[in-house]
Structure 1
Amino acid sequence: MKIGIDKIGFYIPHLYVDMNKLAVSRNVEPEKFTIGIGQEKMAVPPITQDPVTLAANAALEILDEKDKKEIDFVIFGTESGIDSSKSAAVYVHDLLDINPYARAIEVKQACYGTTAGIQMAKGHIALNPESKVLVLGSDIARYGLNTSGEATQGAGAVALVISANPSILELEDQSVYFTTDIMDFWRPIYSDKAFVDGKLSNEQYIAFFSKVWEQYKTKTGLELKDFEAICYHLPYTKMGLKALRTVLDEGTEDVKDRLMENYKISARYNRNVGNIYTGSLYLSFLSLLARKEDLDADSRIGLFSYGSGAVGEFFTGLLQADYREHLHVENHIKLFSARKEITVAEYEEIFQETLPTDGSTIELDIDNDPATICLAGMADNKRQYVNKTK
């Protein structure tokens, strides 16, 4: 039985800041941001968007009424959780009117959470072939103003429907995963901003990719030439490129050229969004499918997932015939083109807008937020969500 990605969508906030202008305001050469880390625009979430609303808006793009009836498991991967007890999946389940006879959980392991959710979903479908699983990856990356990590912030979400006989990508059975305890990136429960050892994190990302790639080749007998493309978790787009370059010498010139070309295509969405943590790998995968129009059916796509702390996994999938018919490319174009550029000063003001932590009631103005699903405020220590279509 084939199991894999049947649908995939994403959502990003309607605001962004230009990285050239951010660099100038920070007295940094713009090329350090646009070339050095490979970012052009950074999505900025208004206070009316949080990980729940971003995920719900991403799923709204792809789910129809049939999906909502057949989904019996919602898995929400995030490292920006809004509650230490109640899962973000429960909120999305309600906002989208999904089948009440369903499981709903939240999964955490830095940027690896969505991948863990997909592998969990795969097992669930194997036992329940008629069901579907909604897997969400949603995050807001916050390091703070004028910090070393500021240029790698971002916000957004991806939504994936995992099912039998998928329309987009069949997930292959063989994968390799690796875990070790390191402190390259973390966010204690008392902080709304992450801490990162940038040099160590970069080194470990490359080291993890090397370990799982070498083990994968040994385990499967496959080589670089067997891949049409390799998509990476992209905290910033130059990071994945560094990893890819470590293996390119294993291929012929034709293989090198193909993988480099497809990598650049896969990084395009991420260059204009920034880091969305658990969703970054899948935004890259979606960018490849949407922007590369001549991928053949049965093309093998490699996916490298990395979550600091750290867990890494390399797994693969085969593109399905007519997969492009199941994408929402026109919606992607509209979502990007409808965004509004804000000044650095406006970005700084939005960044410092936070919800009360003392139980205070607050009402938020959602009229200026074009999203269908928004955070409308807080009352009695409860977030108040609104689906404008309900």
Structure 2
Amino acid sequence: MNIGIDKIGFYAPAYYLDMTKLAEARGVDANKYTIGLGQDKMAVPPITQDTITMGANAAIKILSKADLESIDLVILGTESGIDQSKAGATTIHHMLGINPRARAIEMKQACYGATAGIQLAKGHVALNPTKKALVIASDISRYGLNSGGEPTQGAGAVAILIAADPKILILENDTSYFTDDILDFWRPNYSDFAFVDGKYSNEQYQRFFEEVYTDYMEKTQRSLDDFAAFTFHIPYSKMGLKALRTIADEEDHATLFKNFKDSTYYNRSVGNIYAGSLYLSLVSLLEKGSLHAGDRIGLFSYGSGAVGEFFSGILQPDYKNALVADHDEMLQKRTALNIKEYEAMFNASLIKDGSHQILDTRNESSDFYLKEVKHHQRIYNK
């Protein structure tokens, strides 16, 4: 049975900061961000958007009424969860009006959580081939103002529908995964911001890619020439480029590097969305890349702490017709922030004492948003 990605779409908040403005404010050469990191813009979430609303906003773009009835598994992959007990997937399930006879769970392993969700969803559909699974990757990347990680922040969500006989990408069963207990990036419960050892994390990212890519190739007896494109977990686009350069030469594999550049199209304008970064890159590749039906795409997923996985998929005939076509329009409609506005939006916070907080939602145009907090409960517009 062929199982894989039937539909895919993403949502980004309605505000962004140009990286040249951030560089100017921080006294840094703009090339350090735009060339050194490979980032042009950074999505900035207002206080009315969180992992739940962004996930629901991404999913509503791609789901039909028939999908809502067929889905019986909802998985939210995130490291920006809003509750230590209740899965955000239950709220997204309710917001979207999905069939109530469904499972709903939240998965966490840094930026790897959504990939774990996809693999679980594949197994579920294999046992229930008439059903579908919704996997959502939704995160807000925060390191703090004036921090070393500030230019690699971002926010957004990717929604992925997993089904039998998928319209976009069959996910092959060949896969390789690797785990090691390291502290390259982590966020304790008491901290609003992540801690990261940047140089060490980059080294581990490359190590994990080498581990899983080499193992995959040995197990499958495939070669570089069997792939039309590679997509990577991209906290910033230059990171994936460095990994690709370890296995391919630009002069000899021009198409691979052209497709890689195309695969960073949306990432460069949205920034780091943790669990969704790999799949935002996949959306970019599907919409902007030079691909054909039957092409094999390699995917590298990495979650600090750490877990890495390399797997692959085969493009389906007419995959373009199954893609959502309004992503460029969504980004073009965003509002540019100046530094003062960005810092004010970054510092805005929800109450934590159980009192009543009504949020200003006059500028909200999204389908779902947070409108108030009362008795320790977030109340959403549905």
Instruction: Tell me whether the two structures share a fold, i.e. TM-score over 0.5.
Output: yes
SS class of match (2:67): helix
1:48 paired residue number: 48
**Counterpart residue identity of residue 233, structure 1:** H
Q: Secondary structure at the match of 2:270?
A: coil
User: Structure 1 CA distance, aligned partners of 2:163 and 2:248?
Assistant: 33
Deviations along 1:21-72, one digit per CA (max 9) or x if unpaired, are: 1001000000000000010000000000000000000000001100000000
Shift of 1:253: 4.2
> Are 1:342 and 2:337 matched, yes or no?
yes
Mapping of residues 79-228 of structure 1, within 5 Å:
79-228=79-228
Amino acid in structure 2 at the alignment position of 1:382: Q
1:279-309, Cα deviation, whole Å (9 max, x unpaired): 00000000011112x4111100000000000
Q: Distance in 2 between matches of 1:190 and 1:213?
A: 36
What one-letter code is carried by the residue in structure 1 that aligns with 2:351? P
**How does 1:22-61 map onto structure 2 within 5 Å?**
22-61=22-61
Q: 2:268 aligns with which of 243, 256, 271?
A: 271
> 2: CA distance between counterparts of 1:321 and 1:148?
44
Q: CA deviation at 1:192?
A: 1.2
1:6 aligns to what? 6
Aligned to 1:260: 257
Give the Cα separation in 2 of the matches to 1:369 and 1:230: 36
Q: Percent identity?
A: 59
Any unmatched runs of 5+ in structure 2? none
**CA distance, structure 1, for counterparts of residue 302 and residue 230 of structure 2:** 14
User: Matches of 1:147 and 1:360 in 2, distance apart?
Assistant: 31
C-alpha separation in 1, matches of 2:129 and 2:17: 44
Deviations 1:121-140 (A, max 9, x none): 00000000000000000000
Equivalent residue for 1:282?
A: 279
The 1-side partners of 2:268 and 2:34 are apart by 9
- 1:237-252 equivalence runs, <5 A: 237-249=237-249
Asked if 1:328 is matched to 2:320, the reply is: no
Alignment equivalent of 1:306, drawn from 293, 298, 302: 302
Aligned partner of 1:358 in structure 2 is: 353
| Structure 1 gap ranges (5+) | none
Distance in 1 between residues matched to 2:28 and 2:9, nearest whole Å = 34
Q: Secondary structure at the match of 1:287?
A: helix
Distance, in Å, in 2 between the alignment partners of 1:143 and 1:333 is: 27
- Give CA-to-partner distance per residue, 1:322-362, whole Å, 9 cap, x none: 00000012x11210110110101100000000111111210
2:108 and 2:354 map into 1 onto residues whose CA distance is 26
Which AA in structure 2 matches 1:370? S
Q: Structure 2: which amino acid aligns with 1:327?
A: L
Kindly provide the amino acid, as one letter, of the partner of residue 121 in structure 1. Answer: A
In the alignment, the residues of structure 2 paired with residue 334 and residue 362 of structure 1 have an alpha-carbon distance, to the nearest angstrom, of 32
Q: Is residue 16 from structure 1 mapped to residue 11 from structure 2 by the alignment? A: no
Deviating beyond 6 angstroms after TM superposition, the runs of 4 or more aligned structure 1 residues are: none
Secondary structure, counterpart of 2:266 in structure 1: helix
Residue 297 (1) aligns with residue 321 (2): no
Q: Deviations over 1:168-200 (max 9, x none)?
A: 000001000000000000000111110000010
2:348 is aligned with 1:372: no
Match of 2:6, SS state, is strand
| Equivalent residue letter for 1:297 | A
Question: What TM-score, normalized to structure 2?
Answer: 0.99
The whole-number CA distance in structure 2 between the counterparts of 1:204 and 1:27 is: 29
Q: How many pairs are equivalent?
A: 382
Q: Which letter does structure 1 place at the counterpart of 2:179? A: T
Q: How far apart in 1 are the matches of 2:206 and 2:314?
A: 25
For 2:156, what is the secondary structure of its paired residue? Answer: strand
The reply to whether residue 384 of structure 1 matches residue 375 of structure 2 is: no
Letter in 2 for 1:281: L
Distance 2:218 2:291 in 1: 27
Which residue pairs with 2:231 in the alignment? 231
Give a deviation string over 1:128-174, Cα, whole Å, max 9, x none: 00000000000000000000000000000000000000000000010
- One-letter amino acid of the structure 2 residue matched with residue 282 of structure 1: Y
SS of residue matched to 1:268: coil
